[in-house]
């Protein structure tokens, strides 16, 4: 058993997405929504081992608040200041990570392999737009460059304290 924990969480497409791949790959498991009010986050996370849950993904509003509950947190999650993945270990301990940046970067590299982070956020490249009907359509005009006054130089992330 794994799932997504948030408040609200009924809108999440994660159970359908993960459920599809569990079935497709023949993995014996389920991925379910856990609607957890913010006041119950600590108790809900502490209950995961007792309930036999292998892990959860966190969504709003729990990503930052979980930092105060879980002790074993990856350097990436600490640097980002948010958790989106909680793993339950065999001994019942919880560990946490944030895969948002690595997932975003992997997708960016796949979709726009020539993108160079040093070039800044407004790099001309083929892009896709999502119309009101939810369908993705390619368009060939390059992304416009940001006005000079709005450009923000890339800065090194703040050190983790």
Angle at 57 between CA 158 and CA 43, to 5 degrees: 95
Distance between CA atoms of residues 94 and 42, nearest Å: 12
Q: Which residues of 14-46 are buried (b: 16+ CB within 10 A; e: fewer)?
A: bbeebeeeeeeeeeeeebbbbebeeeebeebbe
Residue 154 is encoded by which pair of tokens? 């890339």
Strand partners, 58: 5
Which residue among 13, 63, 71, 87 is the active-site one?
A: 63
Known catalytic residue at 109: no
Active site residues: 63
């Amino acid at each position: 058993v794994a799932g997504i924990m948030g408040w609200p969480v009924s809108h999440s497409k994660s159970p359908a997405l993960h459920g599809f791949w569990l079935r497709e790959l023949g993995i014996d498991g389920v991925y379910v929504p856990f609607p957890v009010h913010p006041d119950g986050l600590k108790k809900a996370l502490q209950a995961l081992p007792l309930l036999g849950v292998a892990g959860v993904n966190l969504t709003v509003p729990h990503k930052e608040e979980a930092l105060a509950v879980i002790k074993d947190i990856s350097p990436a999650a600490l640097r980002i200041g948010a958790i989106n993945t909680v793993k339950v270990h065999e001994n019942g301990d919880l560990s946490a990570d944030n895969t948002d940046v690595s997932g975003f970067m992997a997708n960016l590299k796949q979709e726009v392999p020539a993108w160079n982070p040093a070039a800044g956020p407004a790099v001309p490249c083929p892009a896709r737009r999502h119309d009101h009907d939810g369908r993705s359509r390619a368009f060939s005009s390059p992304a416009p460059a940001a006005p000079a006054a709005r450009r923000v130089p890339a800065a090194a992330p703040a050190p983790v304290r």
